Chain A
């Protein structure tokens, strides 16, 4: 009886409404496109970005000799509307190891977001041993998005706290909990949602998918509903899938096929207004991996393809997009642009027309 009481009282996190960010009116803007840190380390990857209180855009990415190398650090730079500041190395394996008193071999996948209390939170992956399946999550906080506190470790898995990674921004709930999409790739590969309280402690967890769907990117549509897009981890279907969440992220639907192929690469999305979602996903073309604009006007049930970002302005492979609408309605894209032997983080202010029709950008 005591055991059943314990089980019944379990889970900790109950339903709560999502906090829905305001929609925005996309604004056409002068074309801006370039590398954030052109002279930086050889491999630069997995950017995320946020708007600072003064209107500048801050980007975060990891860079080093190679993915998983021991010289990798997380870098940051700010865009003032005209140019990028010098990149700063804000966190790396050494500083994380010092703060945690643990051995840390490398860091990766920074995800930055603004907590409802106003602070900036940076969640990132660290690896003690092995490859990405040996990952754990860490959280560093900042009052201004520029100076960062020593990190704390997030406890998210019972098996040696291994194999939790993150890629997309969180959902925020009306009860103050942050619901961070994460994924697991040790024995199986699947998506999850971590619930973090105001102190940054993991107080709940929800499994989003079973095998082969990872790197969920979630968008809140209304207080009751969120939609997540998922990367197909090369298990056969190679399809871009969606799931629909309700009850503050404590209940999720079975995966549904968008009808678009996914070449084992993550997708980024933003809510325009109402039930309209704008997304960018990687697509395999004869020339390589390019980005395809996708749009849904019915809350993720149906999707149609917008423009393919290709041609001379898009000469490489593009993976790991991050989309950020700013307060003036401009949509910023941050994406890993991969050339043979090296990669850069490219920043582009997108023309919203790419989501209007099937006209490719060439």
Chain B
């Protein structure tokens, strides 16, 4: 992919981040899906307008975040779908496995990368030969068969973006995971945990004494 196209592709993920957040927040305020979508579009338009020096809010956020990996995009997409009517009850949209995987792999990955405590740098494994994404391509089927659509979608999307050369990076891991994904995953896990606690505390909820 050319440098200019890659620049657009990299910013598209950041735009999706803000659109998703706007939609989810609007839905949390009980806006109908159509109204929430319009609010999200309005937010996206405003954030894409350049100001004071020629950069938009998207550009400024992108200056710090860089492109988002597939895990972020899939977690956001799931959060959007779950905010739709009936979406919360669909087991195929359960992000727990993906969120747990992102946290379990991401935290030690970034710690090893940033701390310099050891000579092992996991990032180097992402500078893979073409064979590696082909091998990776088998994994989505594996996770799909195991029932984790989110993990499967993340691997498939990340692998596809990598093979397309959608971003400037030549490292496969940059297409799969990023620090924003770890934060999103933590938020989703904490949200799921507190929701479960609320259920167990309700009279007649799971763990409540039998009547």
Residues of A within 8 A of B193 (CB): none
Q: How far is the CA of A325 from the CA of B113 in the complex (A)?
A: 36
Question: Which range contains the number of B residues in contact with the other chain?
Answer: 35 or more
Residues of B within 8 A of A104 (CB): 63
The answer to whether B142 has its CB under 8 Å from any CB of chain A is: yes
Residues from 19 to 77 in B contacting A, C-beta threshold 8 Å: 53-55, 59-60, 62-66
- Inter-chain contact B171/A102, CB cutoff 8 Å: no
Closest Cβ neighbor of B131 among chain A residues = A9
Closest Cβ neighbor of A185 among chain B residues = B116
The answer to whether A82 has its CB under 8 Å from any CB of chain B is: no
The answer to whether B196 has its CB under 8 Å from any CB of chain A is: no
Residues from 101 to 155 in B contacting A, C-beta threshold 8 Å: 109-110, 113-121, 123-129, 131-133, 135-136, 138-139, 142
Residues of A within 8 A of B171 (CB): 155, 158, 202
- Inter-chain contact A101/B55, CB cutoff 8 Å: yes
Closest Cβ neighbor of B50 among chain A residues = A101
A232 to chain B: closest CB distance in Å?
Answer: 14
Q: How far is the CA of A103 from the CA of B59 in the complex (A)?
A: 8
Contact with B along A1-22 (1 / 0, CB 8 A): 0110111011111000000000
Contact of A210 among B64, B119, B123, B177 (CB under 8 A): B119
Residues from 165 to 203 in B contacting A, C-beta threshold 8 Å: 167-171, 173-174, 177-179
| Majority-rule SS of B interface residues | helix
The answer to whether A153 has its CB under 8 Å from any CB of chain B is: yes
Q: How far is the CA of A203 from the CA of B168 in the complex (A)?
A: 11
The answer to whether A45 has its CB under 8 Å from any CB of chain B is: no
The answer to whether B3 has its CB under 8 Å from any CB of chain A is: yes
Q: How far is the CA of A187 from the CA of B113 in the complex (A)?
A: 9
The answer to whether A205 has its CB under 8 Å from any CB of chain B is: yes
B125 to chain A: closest CB distance in Å?
Answer: 4
The answer to whether A142 has its CB under 8 Å from any CB of chain B is: no
6 A–B pairs (Cβ distance < 8 Å), ordered by A: A2-B135, A11-B124, A155-B167, A160-B64, A186-B114, A210-B117
Q: How far is the CA of A211 from the CA of B66 in the complex (A)?
A: 26
Q: How far is the CA of A202 from the CA of B127 in the complex (A)?
A: 9
The answer to whether A157 has its CB under 8 Å from any CB of chain B is: yes
Residues of B within 8 A of A128 (CB): 63-64
Q: How far is the CA of A13 from the CA of B138 in the complex (A)?
A: 24
- Inter-chain contact A102/B168, CB cutoff 8 Å: no
The answer to whether B7 has its CB under 8 Å from any CB of chain A is: yes
Residues of B within 8 A of A163 (CB): 114
- Inter-chain contact B59/A10, CB cutoff 8 Å: no
- Inter-chain contact B64/A6, CB cutoff 8 Å: no
- Inter-chain contact B170/A202, CB cutoff 8 Å: yes
- Inter-chain contact B124/A201, CB cutoff 8 Å: no
Residues from 338 to 361 in A contacting B, C-beta threshold 8 Å: none
